[in-house]
Amino acid sequence: MRAGTTIKGYRIKSFFARGGMADLYLAEPLEGTQKDWIFKLYRWDDTVGNVLLPRFQSAAQLLRSLRHPALPAVKEYFSLPDGFVLVIEYIQGRDLESIGSEQLLPFPPETVIHWGAELCKVFRYLHGRIPPVILRDLRPSNLIRESRNRLRLIDLELACTERDLCDYLPPGVPGFTAPEVLAGERPAPKTDLYSLGATLFYLLTLKVPSHENIDMLDRTISQTHSNLKRTLRRALHPDPGERYNNIDEFEESLAGD
């Protein structure tokens, strides 16, 4: 899709990025406000289009219904002969994975605790909906740092409701997805809390968590922040029964005694 192309009331300004199944473009509306939006274009051929289109429509309807300051607005969505487009709020900033890789230093525990508290508020909103919404794809590359150190989430297309959408989705990303989900079990709000713990672990160590490196928490976190260490160890326990049951328990532990 070239710069200057007009489609469905938008003008393509430039190519923005490529990731997974989608190409991202910066676009502006032909009428009204000149606020830029992200055109997220998923392409497919006829052999898979009939299967994927209902899934993308359901996901787009779900995302458009979400209203939270940390989540990007979905303005609209529409299908094309060879794909599907989500028109999503353009969030300016850099993702935490890129920032960490560039600075080659983990983020300070105080910052990680602050961001963890922010993300707890997001999950309280998502899990408190009826039916609960499961994010499924929290990781550092999907967190954008805006001005004033505020986090915004991107790439929410794997989000689903506990009731009816999760069975049609890929399981997730090793290291950031709960191991039982990778093994084929159904996602639940509780499995999002594993991803939250994994993401905070990465920010503290710049390493994807595993059974082999979980003890890095002892070397990285001082006794001053023992609540953070305790929270992440429990959140990343391989046995789901040993983890937190809900976001309130996670947040209370993160805040300390």
DSSP three-state, residue 146: coil
The reply to whether 143 and 159 lie within a common domain is yes
The reply to whether 178 and 74 lie within a common domain is no
pLDDT tens across 107-118, in order?
999 999 999 999
pLDDT at 149: 85
Interior/surface letters 199-210, b for 16+ CB within 10 angstroms, e for the rest: bbbbbbbbeebe
Residue 257 has pLDDT above 60, yes or no: no
Beta bridge partners of 89: 37
Which of 63, 89, 115 is the last residue before a domain boundary?
Answer: 89
Does residue 208 form part of some domain? Answer: yes
Boundaries of domain holding 136: 94-255
The CATH number linked to 32 is 3.30.200.20
Q: What is the average pLDDT across 125-150?
A: 93
pLDDT tens across 166-212, in order?
665 666 889 999 999 999 888 889 999 999 999 999 999 999 999 89
- In angstroms, the CA 61 to CA 98 distance is 30
pLDDT at 55: 79
Residue 217 has pLDDT above 80, yes or no: yes
List the single range of 11-25, 109-123, 127-141, 233-247 with lowest mean pLDDT.
Answer: 11-25
Q: What is the average pLDDT across 130-150?
A: 92
Residue 59 has pLDDT above 80, yes or no: yes
76 membership: H or E segment, kind and range: strand 74-80
- In angstroms, the CA 41 to CA 17 distance is 11
- Alpha carbon 119 to chain centroid, angstroms: 10
pLDDT tens across 75-116, in order?
999 988 878 899 999 999 999 999 999 998 999 999 999 999
pLDDT at 163: 67
- In angstroms, the CA 119 to CA 37 distance is 24
Neighbours of 218 (CB within 10 A): 10
- Beta strand ranges found along 90-244 (DSSP E): 94-95, 133-134, 143-145, 151-153, 160-161
Kindly indicate the confidence band of residue 148, based on its pLDDT and cuts at 50, 70 and 90: confident
The CATH number linked to 247 is 1.10.510.10
Does residue 1 form part of some domain? Answer: no
- In angstroms, the CA 95 to CA 103 distance is 13
pLDDT at 22: 87
The reply to whether 53 and 77 lie within a common domain is yes
- In angstroms, the CA 117 to CA 254 distance is 8
- In angstroms, the CA 228 to CA 215 distance is 13
- In angstroms, the CA 247 to CA 123 distance is 7
Dig out the tokens for 237 from the structure: 């326990």
Kindly indicate the confidence band of residue 219, based on its pLDDT and cuts at 50, 70 and 90: confident
Dig out the tokens for 22 from the structure: 């989608």
Q: Using alpha carbons only, what angle is made at residue 84 by residues 7 and 87, rounded to the nearest 5 degrees?
A: 60
The whole-model pTM stands at 0.92
More confident: 1 or 183: 183
Residue with tokens 């995302």: 63
Q: What is the average pLDDT across 4-18?
A: 92
